[in-house]
Structures are given as structure tokens and as C-alpha cells.
Structure 1
Amino acid sequence: MTTLNRLYRHHLFWPLAVLAALLLFNLLYSPDFFNLVVRNGHLYGSLIDILNFGAPLMLVAIGMTLVIATKGIDLSVGSIVAIAGAQACLTISKGADQNAWGVVLSAIGLAIGLSLVLGAWNGFLVSATGIQPIIATLILMVAGRGIAQLITSGQIITISSDRYGYIGIGSLAALPFSIFVVAAVFLLVSLLIRRTALGLFIESVGCNPRASRLIGIRSRLVLVTVYVFSGLCAGVAGLILSSNVASADGNNAGLWYELDAILAVVIGGTSLNGGRFYLAGTVVGALIIQTLTTTIYMIGVPPEITLVVKAFVVLAVCLIQSESFRKKIVQRWKTRRYPAEREVARHV
């Protein structure tokens, strides 16, 4: 196999090609799309906005990747995003000094702790009770919005805390702090799944959980672990989102994040049938979705049809990435291009 063929068949080839095509379209539509400006030591520009606003989705998608690798699904991540943001903002709003380190750290700790508990609940339902993942997480998806509304008493909680706001709008080395959060989580997970046996355990459970148990893998513990981690990622994403807007909206925060995360995982090359997974592909998939969202807003697509346009583009991306679909297109093209040769070959 030639180098070109190996590159063509690499799982990152088509996601990166689609991302490059989206960026090129934006550059042609708006020549200053790639411009970066330094103001007060901070970098600003469309590319920085894509990374910053896409950080919560990248986090949620990383957690979703491990869940899908076990042949599961987590529909509750959007609700956990809302719950974590609501809990953090409620704790800060009740503090005597909203900028006090004690108040901010308590808010972060409570939000993360609650996210871990919710993730463990999903893992318990899937591993111990045997409920199908789509049903088990659908329960929290529906109830979670109600929990977030109860935390906020049905209102939008606004806060004024510079230290908490640093999570979403702060900068480190001229780049948004949220990018470093995503990078840290990505590197940590990559090391754990590629430098230890955890990655093999996850893939084994996703391929055949019964066989995994027979060879000594504690498949239930693996399932609980990935759902807890998914809840953790959603909780951190909720902190970033709420600190970015200095408020918590239990009804709209994290809305449709579960669907965008699943799309990012699929675009990145991970199969919904479980088994082998690709974290780098997931991050590229999340960047594609965020870039697409930015593109839609930039070209002035009416808000009422934004989701329709987004759905069609995502469908096109998935079809382009499908090897079987590409083979069918090539086969039909050859049939129409060389009908005589095909007829001769059929009678030989």
C-alpha cells in the first residue's frame, strides 16, 4: 500500500479534509477570517472564538467517546451541563463575597461532585440493573432539566465573580483558559488509555462484554468508570459555559449538547457499535461542528432554519466519510462511464 493510500485510509483524513474545506470557505467569504489581533495581552479572532466556544463541546464529546466505545450512549450530558452550571452559580450567588476563593472553590467542588454522582447513577443503571444505555440516560436527560430548574427556582441566576469567570473568559499565555482545560483533559485521557490497559479494557467491553467478564475484566467497573468520566466532562463543560456568561439557565444551558457530542464522535471515526475509538478524531469532529455553527451565523442564515442547514451539512459530512457510500458512488460512476466494458465483462 502506497503512502498516499495509507494517508487516504487514515481515520483522520476525511474529518481534517472537511474541517479544512469549512475554513477555506470562511476565508473566501470573509478574507479577514484568519486575522488574529492582540489586545491587552489577549489573542482575538474568529479562530480563537471557534476554539473557545467549542471547548465545552470538545469536553463533552471526549467523555461521550469512551461511553460509545463500550457500545453505550449518554443522552444526559446536556442536562448535567445545566445542573453543574446551576449549582455553581447558586453557591456563588449565596456567598457573602462572590470573589472569595473559598466561595469559588466550594462552588466548583459542589458542581463537580454532583456531576460525578450523576455519572455514577447512569453507570449503576447500565451496569447493575441491565437497563439499556439509551433508556438509562434518557431518564436523567428528562429529569435533569427539572433538577436544574429546581436548583435555580426556575429563574436565571446571575453572578459577579471575576475569579469564577476566569474559567470561561480568562486567558493564559494570550489564549483562552478553556483551551488549556480541554488540552489537559485530552492529554490525561490519551495517556491513560494508550499507556495503560484501560483503553484495551474499554474496547474489549465494547466488542463483547460477556467474553470480557470471562477473561477476568471487570466489565461493570469499566462501564461505571466511563459514565462517571462522561459526567465529569459534562460538569466541567457546565462550569465553562456558566462562567462565560456569568449566569446559569437551567432550561437552555447545554441544550442539544448530547446530540452534537454524538455527531462529533461519529464524524471523528468512532463506531456506534463499540470497540475501537479515536479521541483525536472526536476533537476534530467537535471543531467541525463549532466551525459549521460559526459559518452559519457568519453568512446570515435565518435563525429559524439554522438547525435544518446544520443537519444537512452534518449528513453530507457523514456520507463523505462513509467508505461504503464512497464505493457505491465510484461503482455507479464507473458503470455509467464504461457501460460497454461492463457488459462485455459480464458475459465473459
Structure 2
Amino acid sequence: MAGRLVRHPMFWPLCVLASLLIFNLLYSPDFFSLVVRNGNLYGSLIDILNFGAPLMLVSIGMTLVIATGGIDLSVGSIVAISGAISCLAISKGADQGSLPLVIGAVLASMALSLVLGLWNGALVSAARIQPIIATLILMVAGRGIAQLITGGQIITVSSSPYAYIGAGSLAALPFSIFIVAAVLLAAFLLTRKTALGLFIESVGSNARASRLAGLRANTVILSVYVFGGLCAGIAGLILSSNVSSADGNNAGLWYELDAILAVVIGGTSLNGGRFYLMGTVVGALIIQTLTTTIYMVGVPPEITLVVKAVVVLAVCLIQSEAFRKTLAIRWKKRNYPIEQEATRHVT
């Protein structure tokens, strides 16, 4: 029973997340404290969920892409484009607080995100370009498109309905958490309650065999890239609305790398095949909690990324079953050399 528990993909990510939370609690005893102000909850845990919402969204989409054996390096650029389009549309309106204007801007942003995801999917599935190259094209060009949209400037808006997306509250919790929950629920229902999840895992395990078995592998691949683009677009809306501005240069910067790390930490293999949506969410929470911890401890800004990389490497090594077995064998040889020698002679 204990062995099965340790081998479960969620075991080590949850242990790491719990360890980070316990460390924060020991460092700052009021870390778990929750305060109610104006009917809304505030606290470090709420901040982790709120600020980690965009990364969780991007990571959910990245999970399905990686499950097919692909990769999407353009999600950060899509995040920037999405926020730029919505803020530009709102800034051009006569009344920025108009609800129809905000709805139109949000729909335009999401539609463009779907088109960008469709572009990536078409390059991979129809043009048969390697996923890392196909999405690298939009990663580079997309950042330039975002800066063209914003004119190289930071577009600021003053719209209460738009700010509600990333900074509003519902039932005393940040509204962004409910957006993540809705997207996660939709992804779970589509992949675990229908045959789509099996198709994705089949394509990721062996795309050629899936085609020979009659599965429309290209359609499946196209679908996951479209979904990944949509998730990145929604994340862009949350990011830009949270600060009521759009920065084409820095918005979503390096999000693709954090999303890939979250997926890997969550137990999904980069080789494709089986995937774990909840593991990905835990992985994203680990990254956001780690970021919060680094800032709280006061790590100098110039080495923040180095500390983050070292911790993520340690997490990946701990999660690796092969690495744990190697350590166990070496520990046993060092502590029981006579037993090992006797076993070798007997065999």
C-alpha cells in the first residue's frame, strides 16, 4: 500500500508543496492567516492562488499539448497579444466602463487566441513541422506583434468591468480562481468523461499507430493546440486586467518555461502519453509558492532565478523514480558492503 502511494504521480508534488508551505509557516507564523476585509478574504494563501491563476491556465493547456508529444513555446507571446488586444479595444472606446465594450474586447481577444492556437496546430499537424520549431515562430513573431499592437508603449485602461476579471472577487475569493476552476473542470470532463483523453494519450504514445488504427491524429493535435491558445488568451486577460494595462514586451515573459516545468513536476512525461491535469495544477502552485517564498525570504533579485532553478531541479530529481532507485542502491552499498559482497559471491 505504501509503495503504491509513493509511486503515485501526485505523491511527490504534494510533498514538495506541503514542504514549501510548512517552511513559510515556520519562517512567518502568520503565513496561513486569513483576513476578511470588505467581505473578501486576504492572505498569503489567497495571493498564491490569485497570482498563480494565469500560470495554472497556461499549464493546463500545455499539459494536453505535451500529452500528444508536442510542445508550445508561443504561449507567453499569446498571453501578451491577448492582453494587448483587449486593452487596445477598451482604450479606443468612448466609455471604458461600458460593459458591452468590455465584453466585445474580451471576445475579440479570445477569438484571436483561438486563431493563434489554430495556426500552431496547423503547422504541426498539416505542415508536419516539428512542434518546437512551429511554435518558436510564433514565440518570436508574437512578441513583436504584441509590441506593434501597443505601439511599443504600455496601454493603460480605466474600466471597472475589465478590472473585475483579474482583480475582482466572488464569494469572498478572487474571481480568477473561479475562471481556473471552470477551465480545469471543462478540460477534465472533456478528457476523462469522453474518449478525447484516450485519443490524446494514444497519439502521444504512438501517433503513427493511432493513424493506422483509424484515429484522426491530426485533428486531435490541432484541437489541443487550439485549446492551449485559448488557455493562454484567458491568462492574458487575467494578467492585463489585474494591473489594468498591457505591456507587449514583458507580459507573459518566460511563461512557456514555467508552464513546461509545472507540467513535468506534475508527472506528465515530455515524451507524450499519459497526463495528469491535477498534477499540473499542483506543479503550478509549487512554482508560484516558490516565487512567493523567495520574495518573502528576501533573496537578492540578481540570484532569484538561480535559486528557483536549483529548487526546481531538486524537485524533478526527487520525483524521478530512476534517480531514487540509484540513490537507494548506492546507499545500500555504502552501508552494507559485506552483505553486498556475500550476495555477489552466492550469485
Q: CA deviation at 1:182?
A: 0.3
Work out which of the residue numbers 166, 169, 173 in structure 1 matches 2:167. 169
The aligned amino acid for 2:181 is A
Q: Secondary structure at the match of 1:272?
A: coil
Aligned to 1:285: 283
**More displaced stretch, 56-65 vs 202-211:** 202-211
Distance in 1, matches of 2:183 and 2:147, equals 29
The aligned amino acid for 1:167 is I
Runs of 4+ in 1 over 4 A off after TM superposition: none
Distance in 2, matches of 1:86 and 1:263, equals 26
Aligned to 2:73: 75
Aligned to 2:153: 155
Distance in 2, matches of 1:129 and 1:12, equals 36
Q: Secondary structure at the match of 2:78?
A: helix
Distance in 1, matches of 2:3 and 2:181, equals 30
User: Residues 294-331 of structure 1: CA distance to partner in whole angstroms, max 9, x if unpaired?
Assistant: 00000001111110100000000000000000000010
Which runs of structure 2 are paired with 1:31-46 in the superposition (5 Å)? 31-46=29-44
Which runs of structure 2 are paired with 1:178-197 in the superposition (5 Å)? 178-197=176-195
Distance in 2, matches of 1:88 and 1:178, equals 17
Q: CA deviation at 1:212?
A: 0.8
Distance in 2, matches of 1:236 and 1:116, equals 10
**TM-score using structure 2 length:** 0.99
**TM-score using structure 1 length:** 0.99
Q: CA deviation at 1:59?
A: 0.2
Aligned to 2:109: 111
Aligned to 2:314: 316
Q: Secondary structure at the match of 1:254?
A: coil
Q: CA deviation at 1:180?
A: 0.3
Work out which of the residue numbers 216, 219, 244 in structure 2 matches 1:218. 216
Q: Secondary structure at the match of 1:326?
A: helix
Work out which of the residue numbers 117, 120, 123 in structure 1 matches 2:121. 123
Aligned to 1:52: 50
Q: CA deviation at 1:150?
A: 0.3
The aligned amino acid for 2:230 is L
User: Residues 182-224 of structure 1: CA distance to partner in whole angstroms, max 9, x if unpaired?
Assistant: 0011011101111100000000110111111111111111011
Distance in 1, matches of 2:308 and 2:66, equals 23
User: Residues 38-92 of structure 1: CA distance to partner in whole angstroms, max 9, x if unpaired?
Assistant: 0000100000000000000000000000000000000000000000000000000
Distance in 1, matches of 2:175 and 2:206, equals 39
Work out which of the residue numbers 78, 86, 95 in structure 1 matches 2:84. 86
1:303 aligns with 2:304: no
1:258 aligns with 2:295: no
Superposed CA RMSD in Å reads 0.5
Q: Secondary structure at the match of 1:157?
A: strand
Distance in 2, matches of 1:164 and 1:276, equals 37
Q: CA deviation at 1:6?
A: 1.8
Identity percentage over the alignment? 79
User: Residues 134-153 of structure 1: CA distance to partner in whole angstroms, max 9, x if unpaired?
Assistant: 00000000000000000000
Q: Unpaired runs of 5+ in structure 1?
A: none
Distance in 2, matches of 1:321 and 1:8, equals 10
Q: CA deviation at 1:241?
A: 0.1
Distance in 2, matches of 1:324 and 1:68, equals 21
Distance in 2, matches of 1:6 and 1:200, equals 23
Q: Unpaired runs of 5+ in structure 2?
A: none
Distance in 1, matches of 2:29 and 2:100, equals 46
1:328 aligns with 2:326: yes
Q: Secondary structure at the match of 2:252?
A: coil
